[in-house]
Structure 1
């Protein structure tokens, strides 16, 4: 079926069920950023493939809301479908909630699958729409009803993460969380976010593409841990190890009936921003719910010393692969046929040669020329273009290693570029270096520091429409909170930067139909000196790959910024050159020369 035919079929089901507007978010049953094939209802209905977006279907309109990363992509993919693009955050563009409040009137009904909408958002919708006399219908998966040949739920094998990689045993992690429960006065802890469960139990899977998580729910009490997952994914030895640490396996969907048995004298701690509304609505009304951030959130984000040291190793291995790739590109562009897709395959080949490499940490963004202006562009056989010896190639890629997860962007100068392109290339690089060199008092958040990365562009009246940085998991999701760098204060996005947090530093600049630039390093937060004013903090770059000096205009940099770049490049040469052949080493020596 075409997109128009799918929308028509969905509207027919809406009529049958008395639903006037149907909400289709990106989420799976666990609030995941990226989701498995089974859960891609929004993509199936609209044809939009971006990782963030919400669709609203009514009888007389269809809309898709997405953020600035995907404006260009969404406009292209929605063309001819009859779906209206709502550019989130732009002036006079209503939010999804504002649109629903304005367009749903007395007696109307809003529908959604309650497993794909958080309890917090469902409560907000219910309160807002109740004022208009609008009802909710939350038990129908209407998109699933019309989805022909829908993929099955993933059931990839589960493995254990050895303590030499995790740095802390499952038993010790669980003991820590139980102490936190005790402090909160909680009898039960309901955990449904997949990265948190994987971290807590030191298990990894493959139920989401490039995200080594296991489809599961977890309930912890003072004496037991119930894991709700597909038993077929677990080998006997993994099950036995879990049982030894007090973890008992139950059927994946069994969580919904189990929570109905909670007693009214028990206090249940869960995060309504993360737990889906159907699960929460199944908890007896007289049970007291403590709506708190997941107790695992900060422990997972603050990497322990073993994890940090492992990440340094992972980034050297990744740095070798990406450095070899950049050298290969510069040597061969214009001499042999290279396209965006074949370049991505070559980079995967270089990564695969590295010890303990597992897989990509996300689908590679290899974007040449004007494609680089599309922030999260992914080449397909239909869009794939050849690389030429001119302009910029933006390569935003990453890998999973047993030692951790990497995420790096380099903008590679493929040949002659304009002075304007070099001006912006240098401005973005200045932002990356200045943020990476920040020293700040403990208690600062990413909001306090974001201006360091944007200032060179802001001085020119320019900007970029995405966050400056995100937290990164340890052999988990490449995007993990709560740490981030953003200039806007957003709910839940103002976490204090703690020792051990790993965050990306990735300002950019994008000229639609022209070019795109992004420079990204991962960095770990560390303690610096302690004075009468308190504990100062700093960052250490983990990523070890040269920035392309062919795009740099030294005269546009301060002496301090040039020194920062020179010092970084000296580290890159020292750590990466021992793993290169003589030809590559000679090239890297020049590529990291002092300016």
Structure 2
């Protein structure tokens, strides 16, 4: 029996592991910056298994006769996708957080096993947990000098050599000098000499630079060591640096080759160095400790200031949203005409939406791969359409499209669920959609006191679903960057900080978040309504303390044909009408002809 491509790759990896005297190896979706989205050179898991999601890990045991001999770990967003993309004959499917790689190794690794891992792709916390689990059965976790997947990946892409770009102060709202001064003050206040900044979006924010090294995220592959005296070392491939970039960074930023990073870490001997255990890989801790530095675990000092957008970033985002909203509205009007004919495919719809964004002007990239899901594909939370899965948008069905754009003045993310006519939707789908809508409105209209975390608001978005015995297996809201990552921490709206990846970070004015409750009926349809919101102060007469609320930033009509009007309260109808009046006010002047007539009809009072 001939092997398929991924079976042959798995076989080649096992031979490589055997040659290295390893009993297994762990392959995450990660790069040396702990990025969510990684460049092609770091897509080891996708190459090996075929899995196309943005979060997951595989464990491969060298002995193929073991049962199971390999496993794929994904969370609830990818439960369906992993089964479509990864061969169940080769990998057992495992769900996190119900289990973990460490638990699985403790149960399935051979007695006394030496399991390899790439210390440049894992956190210290992960490595400690896995090592402890293996020790329980006489085994050990072994850091590899070079990644064995790379050894068998013959056509592996090289890291991008694209030029790093300047992000001007009139878009950033603050100079890099001012940001570095704040980091310097933070270091001095904690009696620290330096901090190692490895997250690509943190580096981009701190230095006011951007890049095209990672699809969908405008960052440049690099590292920074920021010092208490206000200077910084930037480690970046020399071919990426222009004279303009050198001038922009000034004399206080010492530009060095990217491969000088490890010597740079070793040069911190005797210094007190802050490293973020959530964002820096295990190898960085090992190099620093071995070199004689005192490592102090602290959160990356750029994370919170990056999350709290300044007035310039806020206004830039509103402008980007206005252009983006017009583009999405043009697409939805086109879809309302073409989809009922039964000839539009998921891929064609995604291509049309991207074309509408490009026509709107200044689109630099999508902010993530468009989720274009018709019927049952819409129930796959992070579905990514391919030639193999491409469905036609059938008449009288539900279509979900989650998409966004990267513009120099803002990053957008919006989901709309559409009824493809010409018939009327059934009672069940209207009930489910309206419950999702009620959750969306509850979150959009909440007022909350200073100190409230996103996990404390999550129940509002789920309440109407819970009443019917329904729920969804993803968070309700994530942070969003400013011409940076579409998924940005530390703010988040999700279930408590345990199983569902919630957060204890309090919500602060200036933070962008998504508001995106959903419902997914496996094998039938998916529903999600997503707008981006901004945390803003609320003035309440007689209030005892500070209170906040959300300004809705996204302005695109919500599908009115899926609403059961009888399920909405008067206050909910008032929100709907006020929201759509604002959509018409912002988007209307940008449209004309059939598109404007469609918008006016969609924005009429409910």
Cα separation, partners in 2 of 1:484 and 1:80, compared to 1, 3 Å = closer
Q: What is the deviation of 1:492?
A: 7.4
Q: What is the deviation of 1:489?
A: 1.7
In structure 2, which of residues 168, 175, 189 is the aligned counterpart of residue 169 of structure 1? Answer: 175
Match of 1:85 in 2: 93
Three-state SS of the structure 2 residue aligned to 1:333 is helix
Matches within 5 A, 1:132-171: 132-139=137-144, 140-171=146-177
Say if 2:44 is the partner of 1:41: yes
Three-state SS of the structure 2 residue aligned to 1:357 is coil
Matches within 5 A, 1:88-487: 88-89=96-97, 93-104=98-109, 106-139=111-144, 140-223=146-229, 224-244=231-251, 246-264=252-270, 266-285=271-290, 286-335=292-341, 337-415=343-421, 416=423, 417-487=425-495
After TM superposition, the runs of 4+ consecutive aligned structure 1 residues lying more than 6 A away are: none
Question: Which deviates further from its counterpart, 451-460 or 579-588?
Answer: 579-588
In structure 1, which of residues 558, 566, 582 is the aligned counterpart of residue 569 of structure 2? Answer: 558
> Normalising by the residue count of structure 1, what TM-score does the alignment of the two structures yield?
0.96
- Rounded Cα–Cα distance in structure 1 between residues aligned with 2:470 and 2:363: 38
Q: Deviations over 1:49-73 (max 9, x none)?
A: 1111010011221100001111111
> Normalising by the residue count of structure 2, what TM-score does the alignment of the two structures yield?
0.95
- Rounded Cα–Cα distance in structure 2 between residues aligned with 1:488 and 1:183: 32
Match of 1:547 in 2: 558
In structure 2, which of residues 15, 20, 44 is the aligned counterpart of residue 17 of structure 1? Answer: 20
Three-state SS of the structure 2 residue aligned to 1:282 is helix
- Rounded Cα–Cα distance in structure 1 between residues aligned with 2:113 and 2:519: 44
- Rounded Cα–Cα distance in structure 1 between residues aligned with 2:311 and 2:331: 30
- Rounded Cα–Cα distance in structure 2 between residues aligned with 1:124 and 1:190: 23
Match of 1:508 in 2: 518
In structure 2, stretches of 5+ residues that fail to align are none
Three-state SS of the structure 1 residue aligned to 2:314 is helix
Say if 2:11 is the partner of 1:3: no
- Rounded Cα–Cα distance in structure 1 between residues aligned with 2:470 and 2:502: 27
- Rounded Cα–Cα distance in structure 1 between residues aligned with 2:484 and 2:327: 20
Q: Is the 8 A contact 1:257 1:282 kept in 2?
A: no
Alpha-carbon RMSD: 1.5
Matches within 5 A, 1:515-526: 515-526=525-536
Matches within 5 A, 1:47-62: 47-58=50-61, 59=63, 60=66, 61-62=69-70
- Rounded Cα–Cα distance in structure 2 between residues aligned with 1:233 and 1:390: 51
In structure 1, which of residues 563, 577, 584 is the aligned counterpart of residue 588 of structure 2? Answer: 577
- Rounded Cα–Cα distance in structure 2 between residues aligned with 1:390 and 1:88: 35
Match of 1:527 in 2: 537
Cα separation, partners in 2 of 1:68 and 1:284, compared to 1, 3 Å = closer
In structure 1, stretches of 5+ residues that fail to align are none
Q: Is the 8 A contact 1:119 1:274 kept in 2?
A: no
Three-state SS of the structure 1 residue aligned to 2:364 is strand
- Rounded Cα–Cα distance in structure 2 between residues aligned with 1:474 and 1:263: 36
Q: What is the deviation of 1:583?
A: 2.6
Q: What is the deviation of 1:170?
A: 0.7
- Rounded Cα–Cα distance in structure 1 between residues aligned with 2:326 and 2:515: 20
Say if 2:586 is the partner of 1:594: no
Question: Which deviates further from its counterpart, 476-485 or 269-278?
Answer: 269-278
Q: What is the deviation of 1:498?
A: 0.4
Three-state SS of the structure 1 residue aligned to 2:224 is strand
Q: What is the deviation of 1:256?
A: 1.4
Q: Is the 8 A contact 2:45 2:58 kept in 1?
A: yes
Three-state SS of the structure 2 residue aligned to 1:462 is coil
Three-state SS of the structure 1 residue aligned to 2:354 is helix
